[in-house]
Amino acid sequence: MTTVLEQPRTSVSSTPASRLRLTTAAVRLTFTWFGIRKTLTAEQKNQAAESFGAEGHFLSAGKKLLDTKHPSFRMLTGVRHRIVSYWKDSTLPYPDPGVRLIRQRDIDAFNSRMNQLRDELAEAVWRLDEHYAELMSAARDRLGRLYNSSDYPASLRGLFHVAWDFPNVEPPDYLRQLSPDVYRQECHRVEARFDEAIQLAEQAFMEELHQLVSHLTDRLTGQVDGTPKIFRDSAVENLTEFFQRFRRLNVRSNDELDELVAQCSQIVRGTDPQSLRDSQGLRQTVAAELSQVQASLDGLLVSRPRRNILRRPR
């Protein structure tokens, strides 16, 4: 039986980038979202500038149309946050903005869950629309002369929506016949994109593991007024979730990273948060072992600094 880091490798002739290319599909997430902030008109900016003795065209100012702290609006943004989190947790990064890579075997489950989340978003929009008149009335009171009824649609339904699709990132096959040279250029470009995707995935895994290990180590070793810091269960649970996601998405491209994740997984395996609270000896042991992992991650991150991704003209 294999573990997180003992999965069998594919043929040595294949590269991590080629395996990623063969086993994943691109998935793009887009939102339709009613803008609740609006720039002031030139006249309004001039009026605001006068109070500071400034010139209106040197002033940038806007107004907020709705109270985003209202419970119904918070519910809406909460669903959006869950959608984005699920999309990111189910996929690997890709250099193109707004696009990530999903395992082909996970597409059906992803579609099913996204349909559920889309229904939750629609429900949240319906709840928000129930309070729309109340929100507009509050905006009228708070904005004063800046309030403009034309800024507000008759209803919010249909103005918040999520969609996803699976764009083709491979060279179009028709180029093979029309222009073999261009087709070869496109093949090389796509190969480079997947090489970059591998590096982005490694960087993301390293940085996330480093953050989780550093946080837990700080909770285990730090003190406040001479007493150990209190840590939440999530400090351990988030690491466990990371191991599960790493097992599912890891493309086996970095032996050092694989080994560090395995080492960290072994350290916290079978250790529950309450045991760490109750036993000072266990806290010290786990903290010391995690510190070694943290030091190794520091070395990896120094040798692989954050990449500055240059966006190509689109």
Q: Of 281 and 112, which is predicted with more confidence?
A: 112
The residue type found at 34 is F
Cα–Cα dist 176/179, whole Å = 6
Task: Give the percent of the chain with pLDDT over 90.
Answer: 68
Residue entry with tokens 């109750």: 278
Q: What is the pLDDT of residues 288-298, one digit of tens each?
A: 999 999 999 99
Cα–Cα dist 42/234, whole Å = 49
53: confidence class by pLDDT, cuts 50, 70, 90? confident
Cβ-contact 190, 146 below 8 angstroms? no
Judged by average pLDDT, the poorest of 63-72, 240-249, 250-259, 305-314 is 305-314
Tell me the two tokens of residue 25: 């599909």
Residue 278 C-beta-side C-alpha neighbours within 13 Å: 5
Residue 88: left (phi > 0), alpha (psi -120 to 50), or beta? alpha
Q: What is the pLDDT of residues 179-222, one digit of tens each?
A: 999 999 999 999 999 999 999 999 999 999 999 999 999 988 87
Give the per-residue pLDDT at 304: 65
Q: Does 76 score more than 90 pLDDT?
A: yes
Name the pTM for this structure: 0.84
Average predicted confidence (pLDDT) for the chain: 88
Q: Does 157 score more than 60 pLDDT?
A: yes
105: confidence class by pLDDT, cuts 50, 70, 90? very high
In this prediction, residues 102-118 reach a mean pLDDT of: 98
Cα–Cα dist 29/48, whole Å = 39
In this prediction, residues 49-71 reach a mean pLDDT of: 84
Cα–Cα dist 165/190, whole Å = 19
Residue 252: left (phi > 0), alpha (psi -120 to 50), or beta? left
